[in-house]
């Protein structure tokens, strides 16, 4: 992942000034950021801008898990591959190749970034609603690989909404699922807060049933993220 990390950081350094000009970004709870060693970074997902916003405030290389169909989008596909992106099917299935990539992230002591909501919030297309239910795959990665989870949230302060720039028929031609083809609007951030919470220790979820532990861990992380979203954090 060393090559991917260097590419990611080069892209980040190039894009960051433009992101900073386009969006007023404030970060809170940065003292909670795990500065070294393997960790899973989770965040809510309400805009296609989210990975760029989070990467802007996070000082480490993030190997993002992204929906497999996004790797068919021109330009993004190439950038995602060279910057360490890992494809995952929307039904939760993950290829052997992607599993090996995830294991390499942890072996190198890097950060795995994932949006537990998947694309479900954006499919719902109601930007005033709260977080939707989580997919529990991130909890399985945590338990099976013995990795702590760092919860974070993006809180919009000012935003606008616009039509998706890629027409539905083009999205369909690119192989996107119907629910993604039917999305009408996208959120465009103008001013946001990025909040990092305290890490969740995986060791509390190692004994007993994997399925039960996955659900409990997923619920704990979601509860923490909702609390952050509702303002339960300290502003400097």
Residues 155 and 229 sit within 8 Å (Cβ to Cβ): yes
Please give the structure tokens belonging to residue 179: 């629910």
**3-state class (DSSP) for residue 77:** helix
The architecture CATH gives domain 1-230: 3-Layer(aba) Sandwich (3.40)
Q: Which of 30-39, 194-203, 215-224, 227-236 has the lowest mean pLDDT?
A: 227-236
* Backbone phi, psi, residue 15, to 5°: -80, -30
Confidence class for position 233, pLDDT limits 50, 70, 90: confident
DSSP three-state, residue 232? coil
H-helix segments, the chain? 2-22, 50-57, 76-82, 96-107, 120-124, 137-145, 168-173, 178-181, 210-229
pTM: 0.92
Please write the tens of the pLDDT for every residue from 30-76: 999 999 999 999 999 999 999 999 999 999 999 999 888 877 776 66
Return the pLDDT at 202: 97
Integer angstrom CA distances of residue 99 from 88, 104, 125, 144, 213: 9, 9, 31, 12, 20
- How much is the pLDDT for 76? 66
Q: Which residue has the tokens 């919030």?
A: 121
pLDDT tens-digit series, residues 94-151: 788 888 999 999 999 999 999 999 999 999 999 999 999 999 999 999 999 999 999 9
The SS3 of residue 81 is helix
Query: Would you kindly state where each structural domain of the chain is located, as residue ranges?
Result: 1-230
- Lowest mean pLDDT across 87-96, 161-170, 188-197, 212-221: 87-96
Higher pLDDT, 183 or 86: 183
């Amino acid at each position: 992942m060393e090559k991917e990390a260097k590419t990611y950081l080069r892209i980040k350094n190039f894009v960051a000034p433009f992101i900073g000009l386009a969006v007023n970004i404030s970060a809170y709870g940065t003292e909670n950021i795990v500065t070294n060693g393997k960790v899973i970074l989770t965040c809510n997902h309400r805009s296609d801008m989210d990975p760029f916003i989070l990467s802007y405030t996070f000082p480490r290389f993030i190997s993002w898990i992204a929906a497999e169909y996004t790797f068919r989008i021109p330009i993004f596909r190439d950038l995602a591959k060279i910057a360490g992106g890992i494809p995952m099917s929307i039904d939760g299935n993950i290829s052997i190749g992607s599993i090996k990539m995830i294991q390499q992230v942890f072996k190198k002591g890097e950060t795995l970034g994932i949006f537990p909501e998947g694309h479900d919030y954006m499919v719902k297309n109601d930007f005033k609603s709260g977080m939707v239910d989580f997919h529990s795959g991130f909890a399985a990665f945590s338990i099976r690989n013995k990795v702590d989870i760092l919860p974070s949230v993006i809180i919009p302060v000012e935003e606008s909404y616009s039509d998706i720039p890629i027409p539905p028929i083009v999205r369909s031609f690119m192989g996107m699922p119907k629910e993604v083809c039917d999305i009408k609007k996208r959120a465009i951030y103008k001013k946001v807060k990025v909040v990092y919470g305290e890490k969740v220790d995986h060791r509390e979820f190692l004994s007993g049933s994997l399925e039960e532990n996955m659900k409990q861990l997923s619920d704990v992380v979601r509860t923490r993220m909702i609390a952050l979203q509702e303002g339960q954090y300290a502003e400097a």
